[in-house]
Amino acid sequence: MNIVEFLLPGTTELYPFLLAILAATGFGLVGSFALMKKTVLAGDVMSHIALPGLGLAILFRINPLLGGAATLFIGALLIWKLEKTTGLSTEAMIGVVYSASLAVGVLITPSEDLIDALFGGFQKLTAFEFFIGTLAGLLIIWFIFKYKNQLVFSLFSPDLASVSGINISKLNLWFLLVFALTIILGLRFLGALLVGSLIIIPAATGRQLTHTLSAFLTVSSLVSVVSVIAGFFISRAFNLSPGPTTVTVAAIIFGLSLLKKKI
């Protein structure tokens, strides 16, 4: 492989590569608010809710992402509804749905396809899949910047937010759905096992390095994007799996962040 081939993704890799970068931006933004909501570990847990849908899609020979998306959105709605009716925390409801989903997913996913479902990869994308993925990524970014102030308000002063006319329950539902959409974008190249890591680690790094909300969101997204780009090229150079490589790069950046002062 010459230097040009190494630096420039091939035609089969270009769409997944570009979509992964866009998804990484969403990971950083959504992960930042998940960290502030103290539900950042939910990203790791919610990603496993996709497993039953992935398994069923593989069994019936349809696009696995469609199956994963279906169960993730159903799971998000179920978590929101159970949280409202039981009064238990979001984390508790996610844990319940996660446990059941993981068990069912492992049972029905064919063993030969389980590794791909768990760890992902930069598989070929059609132009239509790239278009839909791009729309989803832009929607995530638009939602965070559109509702940034309302999200912050509802986090730190929920009573005042309610008095100000913010429907916190509906806002939480929309955030859960955007959270699920973010995970769906990452399933293809990170897999169900690792996609939550790119929500957790860049956000933790951004929080470690920054004082202000704008800097927090920016640094979290940059760390996520750099991790994806570096993970892609390192995995190509050494013939490694891109998902674990990307998460390893993110973890190294977090480790280095512990040595730096906040900005």
CA distance 233 to 181: 26
- Copy the structure tokens of residue 87: 């009064």
* pLDDT score recorded for residue 229: 94
Could you tell me the two tokens for 5? 């081939």
CA dihedral sign, ordered 257, 258, 260, 263 = positive
* Residue 98: closest CA among 41, 58, 56, 136: 41
- Specify the pTM: 0.81
Position 121 scores a pLDDT of 59
- The predicted pLDDT at position 52 comes to 73
- Closest by CA position to 30, among listed 249, 170, 195, 255: 195
pLDDT score at 110: 55
Cα separation, 27 vs 226, whole angstroms? 12
pLDDT score of 140? 95
What gap in Å lies between CA 192 and CA 120, rounded to an integer? 8
Residue of 8, 34, 15 whose CA lies nearest to 155: 34
Domains annotated on the chain, with CATH:
3-257 (1.10.3470.10)
The string of pLDDT tens digits covering residues 178-237 is 988 898 888 877 776 778 888 889 999 999 999 899 999 999 999 999 999 999 899 888
Q: Residue 140 in contact with residue 178, Cβ under 8 Å?
A: yes
Closest CA to 155 of 184, 126, 175: 175
Q: At 206, list the tokens.
A: 């951004």
Q: What is the pLDDT of residue 2?
A: 46
- Residues with Cβ within 8 Å of 19's Cβ and at least 6 positions away in sequence, in order, are 125, 130, 133, 134, 137, 185, 188
Contact call for residues 169 and 176 (beta carbons, < 8 A) = no
Reading the chain (263 residues) residue by residue, the pLDDT tens digits are 444 455 555 556 788 889 999 999 999 999 999 888 876 556 556 666 777 777 777 677 777 667 777 877 787 777 777 767 766 666 666 666 666 666 666 666 655 555 555 556 556 778 888 898 899 999 999 999 999 999 998 888 888 888 888 888 889 889 988 988 898 888 877 776 778 888 889 999 999 999 899 999 999 999 999 999 999 899 888 988 888 899 999 999 999 999 876 65
Cα 67 from Cα 73, distance rounded (Å): 10
